[in-house]
C-alpha cells in the first residue's frame, strides 16, 4: 500500500479526536490498551474512563494511569448511571458484541452522544470477494477467517442506519474511514456510500433532544415526579426501547 | 527483603501509641462507648507542608501496624514490604504512610486484652462488640489528631479493603483516593461459616475459660492454633497448595499414625503454633465477629451504591485475585458496579494468579503494576508530582 498509514493503523482515532469536545467526560467501551483514552486525555484533557474485557488491556491501562474497569461491554454498561458521560465511544467493537442493539441503546442512555465505528460489510471489496470467490470475505478491514473472527455481528452501512432509525437515534455526523486516508464526511444514506465506505464512523444522539431529565411541570405549576427508572430487563429478551 | 527497603533519613519511621483522653471516647455502633482509647500506629515518611501526601494503610484480620518495618514481636519484616518502601508503589520518600492497629486488636490498640478501667483486669468478654465502622472511626480520630485533613489514599486488602470501603462511605470528604484489594462489601454465609469454626475451636479449648484465661495464667493455644489452621486454608488456593506441597511426605514412608506425615500438615501446624505466639485469642473472636457483622449495603437501605453516593470525588481502585475463593472476584465486581452506579470514578482489575486470597501479600508483578499506575496518576492529579 503506497498511502501512508496512520502510526497506529487506527485512522478512526484521528476522527474521534476531532469530534470530542475538550474537557468532556468520555467512556471508551472496549478501550484495549488505552491508546485512544491516552490520546484523548493528552490532546483534549478529557475525563476518561475505559471498559475492557482483557486482563492484558486492563493492566496496560492501569500502568498508564487511566481509569479502567475490567468488564464486558455486553453486560456491564447496565451499571453505569444515566447521562454519566458526554461521549460513549465504541470503536470497531460493536460487531463483536453479543447484543449490539442493547449495547447501542445503552451507550446513548449513559452518554449524551455516542461515537461508534463499524466496518461496512457492504463495501465493494466484501461484495467482490464474496461474488468472485464464493467464500466469506477476508479483507484488510476484516482479515480473519470465519472460524476465528471476533466479528459475530457484521452489518452494512444501510443495516446500521436502519438500526439507528429503529432505536430513534439521530446521526449528527458520519465519516467514511479507509486505512491510511483522512476521514471523508459522508451522507450515510448516500446511494454509493454503502459501496465506497470501508469503515463508517458515526456521531449519534437521541432524537429528539432528550429533555426527560428535566422535571416536567404540571398544570398547576408544581413539579411533577420524575418518571420512574425502567425496571432492568431480563437479558436476551429486550423490550422495545 | 532488599537492603534498599531500610528507611533512609529522608524516609524516617515514627509512631507509637496514641492515647485519647477519657473525655474523648470512641462511640461504637453497638451503642457502647470505649474509653480510654489507645491506638497503636506506625508512620513511614514525612507529612509534606501542604499535608497532601498522607496514606492510611489498613490491615487484614491478623495484621498490625508494622506494615513496612520489622515486627518487634516476631522479628519478621513488615507484612507489606513489597508495597511500601523506597521505589515501591507507596514510597516513604514521597508519601507519609500511616498504619494503625485496629481497635479490638492486640498490638497496641485497645482490645479485649487491655485493662478494663472498671475492674483493673483485662476486659476479656466485657470488651464491647466492635465493627468495621468502629475501627474506621478510631482511625479517623487518629488521622485528625495527626493534623491530616485529607488522606491522599486509604488502602488495604481483605479486612483492610472493607475498612477502605467504610472510609469511602463515612468520610468521603477526607479521601482523595481509595484502593480496595481482595475484599467484599459484606461477609457471605461461607465467610461467616469459616469464622464460626475458628471461634468454636477457641471456645472449645478448656484454657479459654470463658475469655478470662489471662487471669488464670493460661492461654487457649490449641484452639487458637486450630482456628488459624482452618482460616489459613481459605487464604490459599487449591492450585497453590497442590503446587507447594502436593502429597509430599515429611520423611520417607508413612507413620501409620497421626503424626504430620504430609508436608501440608506440617506447614499448617507451623502456621497454627507460630500464630498463637503473636495473637490474642479474644481479639481473634472480636475481630472475626466485626467482619461477620460487616454489610455495607445494609447500613444504606440495602443498596450498596447508596454507600458511595457522597464519594463521587474519590478516585477508586478495586483489585481482586482470580484464585481468591475467600472474597472472590464477583464480590469486587459488586463493589465496582455500585461505584459506577453511584457515579464514582473507579478502576477495577482482576489479577490473574493461582496464589489465592493472600496474593496481595506476595510479589505479583501485575498487582504491583496496577498499584503503581493508579498511585502515579492519582499523585499527578493531586499535584504530588
The stretch B341-349 carries a mean pLDDT of: 92
The single residue listed with the C-alpha cell 493508579 is: B374
pLDDT for res A222: 38
A69 touches chain B (CB under 8 A): yes
Report domain extents, chain A: 11-211
State the CATH class of domain A11-211. alpha beta
Bridge partners (DSSP) of residue B58 are B156
In this predicted structure, the answer to whether residue A236 has a pLDDT above a threshold of 80 is no
In this predicted structure, the answer to whether residue B361 has a pLDDT above a threshold of 80 is yes
Give SS3 for A173.
strand
- CB count, 10 Å around CB of B239? 13
Contacts of B188 by beta carbon, 8 Å cutoff, 6+ apart: B331
The single residue listed with the C-alpha cell 520489622 is: B70
CB contact under 8 A, B373 and A65: yes
The stretch A106-117 carries a mean pLDDT of: 96
B309 touches chain A (CB under 8 A): no
CB contact under 8 A, B345 and A58: no
Per-residue DSSP letters for B286-351?
A: HHHHHHHT-BTTGGGTT-HHHHTTT-TTSEEEEEEETT-SSS-HHHHHHHHHHHHHTT-EEEEEEE
Question: Residues B279-292: pLDDT tens digits?
Answer: 999 999 999 999 99
A81 touches chain B (CB under 8 A): yes
B373 touches chain A (CB under 8 A): yes
pLDDT for res A180: 78
pLDDT band at A55 (very low <50, low <70, confident <90, very high): confident
% of residues, chain A, pLDDT over 90: 64
Comparing alpha-carbon positions, the chain A residue that sits nearest to B340 is: A80
In this predicted structure, the answer to whether residue A176 has a pLDDT above a threshold of 80 is yes
Cell of A193: 456510500
pLDDT for res B331: 97
CB contact under 8 A, A55 and B349: yes
Higher pLDDT, B90 or A234: B90
Share the mean pLDDT of chain B. 94
Residue A55 to chain B, least CA–CA distance (Å): 7
Question: Residues A7-33: pLDDT tens digits?
Answer: 445 778 989 999 999 999 999 999 999
Q: Which domains does chain B have, with CATH numbers?
A: 13-188+295-382 (3.40.50.1820), 190-290 (1.10.1740.110)
CB contact under 8 A, B349 and A67: no
pLDDT for res A213: 53
Cell of A18: 476531532
Higher pLDDT, B366 or B275: B275
CB contact under 8 A, A65 and B374: yes
Comparing alpha-carbon positions, the chain A residue that sits nearest to B312 is: A84
Q: Which of A111-120, A221-230, B122-131 has the lowest mean pLDDT?
A: A221-230
Contact between A182 and A17 under an 8 Å Cβ cutoff? The reply is no
A241 touches chain B (CB under 8 A): no
Q: Which of A145-154, A217-226, B78-87, B286-295 has the lowest mean pLDDT?
A: A217-226
B345 touches chain A (CB under 8 A): yes
% of residues, chain B, pLDDT over 70: 97
Interface confidence, given as ipTM, is 0.83
Give SS3 for A58.
helix
pLDDT band at B139 (very low <50, low <70, confident <90, very high): very high
B349 touches chain A (CB under 8 A): yes
Residue B183 to chain A, least CA–CA distance (Å): 16
In this predicted structure, the answer to whether residue B225 has a pLDDT above a threshold of 60 is yes
Contacts of A206 by beta carbon, 8 Å cutoff, 6+ apart: A108, A168, A169, A170
Catalytic residues of B: 158, 324, 357
pLDDT band at A232 (very low <50, low <70, confident <90, very high): low
Comparing alpha-carbon positions, the chain A residue that sits nearest to B375 is: A65
Q: Which residues of B touch A70 (CB under 8 A)?
A: 348-350
Question: Residues B146-200: pLDDT tens digits?
Answer: 999 999 999 999 999 999 999 999 999 999 999 999 999 999 999 999 999 999 9
pLDDT for res B1: 32
Angle, in degrees to the nearest 10, between helices B132-145 and B281-292: 100
pLDDT for res A230: 53
Q: CA nearest B312: which of B344, B268, B346?
A: B344
Contact between B164 and B154 under an 8 Å Cβ cutoff? The reply is yes
Question: Residues B75-125: pLDDT tens digits?
Answer: 999 999 999 999 999 999 999 999 999 999 999 999 999 999 999 999 999
| Tally of CA atoms within 13 A in the half-sphere of A77 that contains its CB | 27
In this predicted structure, the answer to whether residue A132 has a pLDDT above a threshold of 70 is yes
Contact between B178 and B310 under an 8 Å Cβ cutoff? The reply is no
Residue A138 to chain B, least CA–CA distance (Å): 34
Q: Which residues of B touch A65 (CB under 8 A)?
A: 373-374, 376-377, 380
Question: Residues A62-102: pLDDT tens digits?
Answer: 888 899 999 998 988 988 889 999 999 998 789 999 999 99
Amino acid at each position: 500500500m503506497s498511502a501512508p498509514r496512520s502510526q497506529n493503523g487506527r485512522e478512526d482515532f484521528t476522527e474521534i479526536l476531532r469530534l470530542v469536545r475538550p474537557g468532556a467526560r468520555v467512556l471508551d467501551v472496549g478501550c484495549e490498551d488505552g491508546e485512544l483514552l491516552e490520546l484523548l486525555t493528552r490532546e483534549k484533557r478529557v475525563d476518561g474512563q475505559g471498559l475492557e474485557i482483557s486482563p492484558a488491556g486492563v493492566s496496560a491501562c492501569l500502568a498508564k494511569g487511566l481509569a479502567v474497569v475490567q468488564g464486558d461491554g455486553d453486560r456491564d454498561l447496565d451499571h453505569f448511571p444515566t447521562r454519566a458521560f458526554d461521549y460513549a465511544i465504541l470503536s470497531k467493537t460493536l460487531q463483536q458484541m453479543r447484543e449490539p442493539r442493547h449495547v447501542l441503546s445503552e451507550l446513548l442512555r449513559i452518554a449524551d452522544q455516542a461515537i461508534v465505528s463499524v466496518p461496512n460489510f457492504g463495501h465493494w471489496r466484501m461484495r467482490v470477494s464474496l461474488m468472485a470467490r464464493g467464500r466469506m470475505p477476508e479483507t484488510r478491514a476484516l482479515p480473519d477467517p470465519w472460524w476465528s473472527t471476533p466479528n459475530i455481528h457484521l452489518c452494512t452501512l444501510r443495516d446500521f442506519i436502519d438500526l439507528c432509525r429503529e432505536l430513534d437515534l439521530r446521526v449528527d455526523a458520519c465519516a467514511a474511514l479507509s486505512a491510511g486516508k483522512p476521514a471523508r464526511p459522508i451522507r450515510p444514506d448516500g446511494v454509493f456510500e454503502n459501496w465506497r465506505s470501508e469503515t463508517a464512523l458515526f456521531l449519534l444522539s437521541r432524537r429528539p433532544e432528550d429533555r426527560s431529565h428535566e422535571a416536567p411541570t404540571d398544570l398547576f405549576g408544581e413539579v411533577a415526579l420524575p418518571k420512574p427508572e425502567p425496571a432492568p430487563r431480563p437479558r436476551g429478551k429486550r423490550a422495545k426501547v | 527483603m532488599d537492603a534498599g527497603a531500610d528507611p533512609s533519613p529522608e524516609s524516617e519511621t515514627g509512631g507509637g501509641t496514641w492515647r485519647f483522653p477519657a473525655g474523648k471516647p470512641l462511640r461504637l455502633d453497638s451503642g457502647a462507648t470505649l474509653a480510654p482509647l489507645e491506638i497503636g500506629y506506625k508512620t513511614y515518611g514525612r507529612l509534606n507542608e501542604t499535608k497532601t501526601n498522607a496514606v492510611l494503610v489498613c490491615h487484614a484480620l491478623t495484621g498490625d501496624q508494622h506494615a513496612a518495618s520489622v515486627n518487634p514481636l516476631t522479628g519478621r519484616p513488615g507484612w507489606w514490604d513489597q508495597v511500601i518502601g523506597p521505589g515501591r508503589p507507596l514510597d516513604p520518600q514521597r508519601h507519609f504512610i500511616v498504619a494503625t492497629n485496629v481497635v479490638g486488636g492486640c498490638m497496641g490498640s485497645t482490645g479485649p486484652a487491655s485493662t478494663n478501667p472498671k475492674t483493673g483486669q483485662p476486659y476479656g468478654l466485657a470488651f464491647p462488640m466492635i465493627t468495621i465502622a468502629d475501627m474506621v472511626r478510631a482511625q479517623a480520630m487518629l488521622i485528625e489528631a495527626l493534623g491530616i485533613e485529607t488522606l491522599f489514599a486509604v488502602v488495604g486488602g481483605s479486612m483492610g479493603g472493607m475498612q477502605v470501603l467504610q472510609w469511602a462511605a463515612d468520610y468521603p470528604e477526607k479521601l482523595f483516593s481509595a484502593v480496595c484489594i481482595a475484599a467484599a462489601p459484606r461477609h457471605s454465609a461461607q465467610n461467616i461459616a469459616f469464622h464460626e469454626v475458628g471461634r468454636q475451636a477457641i471456645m472449645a479449648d478448656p484454657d479459654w475459660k470463658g475469655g478470662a484465661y489471662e487471669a488464670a495464667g493460661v492461654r487457649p493455644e490449641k484452639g487458637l492454633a486450630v482456628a488459624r489452621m482452618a482460616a489459613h486454608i481459605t487464604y490459599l488456593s487449591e492450585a497453590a497448595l497442590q503446587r507447594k506441597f502436593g502429597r509430599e511426605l515429611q520423611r520417607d514412608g508413612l507413620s501409620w499414625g497421626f503424626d504430620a506425615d504430609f508436608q501440608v500438615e506440617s506447614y499448617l501446624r507451623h502456621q497454627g503454633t507460630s500464630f498463637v505466639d503473636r495473637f490474642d485469642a479474644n481479639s481473634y473472636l472480636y475481630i472475626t465477629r466485626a467482619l461477620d457483622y460487616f454489610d455495607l449495603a445494609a447500613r444504606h437501605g440495602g443498596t450498596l451504591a447508596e454507600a458511595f453516593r457522597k464519594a463521587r470525588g474519590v478516585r477508586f481502585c478495586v483489585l481482586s485475585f482470580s484464585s481468591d475463593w475467600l472474597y472472590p472476584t464477583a464480590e469486587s465486581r459488586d463493589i465496582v458496579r455500585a461505584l459506577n452506579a453511584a457515579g464514582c470514578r473507579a478502576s477495577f482489575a482482576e489479577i490473574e494468579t493461582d496464589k489465592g486470597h493472600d496474593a496481595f501479600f506476595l510479589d505479583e508483578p501485575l498487582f504491583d503494576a496496577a498499584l503503581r499506575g493508579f498511585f502515579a496518576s492519582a499523585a499527578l492529579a493531586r499535584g504530588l508530582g
